[in-house]
Amino acid sequence: MRQDAEQAVRRHALDLDVQVAGKDVDRQINQLRAAIAGQGTTRPDLILVSPVREQLLLTLLRSAARAGIHWAFLTRWLDEIPALRREFPEVDIYSVSADQREIGRLQGRQLEILRTAEDEVIYLSGPAGTSSARQRAEGIAPELERARGKCQTFYGDWSQESGRTATKRWLAGFPRSQRPSFVIVGQNDNMAIGAREAVAASRDAASKSTDLRVIGCDGSSAFGQRLVIQGELSATIIVPPVSGRAIDAFAQRLAGRGRPNAVENVGVTSHPSLEALRAKHVRLRL
């Protein structure tokens, strides 16, 4: 997202200040509070934020709007956005994201291809309080319901370690000789690969892990797509970066070409394509 934003500000001759909070919500709140107050730098015209917990930023968002600062959520949504746009009509408050429910639906179609009727499903969700985790779960819900009680959901923090920890906990519930067949679905590539590592570590040294079926999401060329090529992931969802789109939308306003929509969506795709995944899975089953 940082690279995408840097390219966008160069296109529009704007300045960019990047701050990183990691997974620390208190740190992010302090960073935003300082930016709104103009501490240490000039007050920004636009705040782009990929929130740790978006609901906890509502008070700060109102403060920014009162100060005339535009605000864009990256990959997140707040149900209050439409009302805030009416309350502050001179300020752009919007969300730029992939269609999170479509991500879930695509993962559901990938799961339908890879799963047999006997398979258990390990579903690794992001934090329950985030809009992206909730909407991705809503999208895949019909396919998980077809598992008929053979699906277990774990919540992580998007990290590799949280996927590894959750999967170890699931594996601990079965003697190794009685472990059922299963498919892993991670709401992002980090949790998915962490889960795969947990399974590989639990197997005998001589045991192969090439039969593992693991689905991820985000699909950056340097990580998720590479893991699919290497066979570490069976499939992922390619989610384009959204920060550049957020800046482009704001630049259009500055040029007098209209304000951003409340939701600016980017398209997502299965990697490999559903047709290629089906063909490969059929070959592996033969």
The 10s digit of each residue's pLDDT in 74-118 is 988 999 999 999 999 999 999 999 999 999 999 999 999 999 999
CATH of the domain at 70: 3.40.50.2300
What's the number of CA atoms in the CB half-sphere (13 Å) around residue 177?
0
Same domain? 41 vs 17: yes
Tell me the average pLDDT across 254-282: 93
The 10s digit of each residue's pLDDT in 125-157 is 999 989 999 999 999 999 999 988 899 999 999
Same domain? 8 vs 149: no
The sheet with strand 182-186 has its strands ordered as 151-155, 120-125, 182-186, 214-215
pLDDT class for 283, splitting at 50, 70, 90?
confident
What's the domain count of the chain?
A: 2
Same domain? 52 vs 185: no
List the domain range (segments joined by +) for residue 93: 2-98+241-266
Please check whether residue 260 is in contact with residue 19, taking contact to mean a CB–CB distance below 8 angstroms.
Answer: no
Same domain? 6 vs 79: yes
Q: What is the pTM of this model?
A: 0.86
Same domain? 118 vs 260: no
Which residues are within 8 A (CB) of 114 and not within 5 positions of it... i.e. 6 or more apart? 183, 213, 215, 234, 235, 277, 281
Same domain? 71 vs 208: no
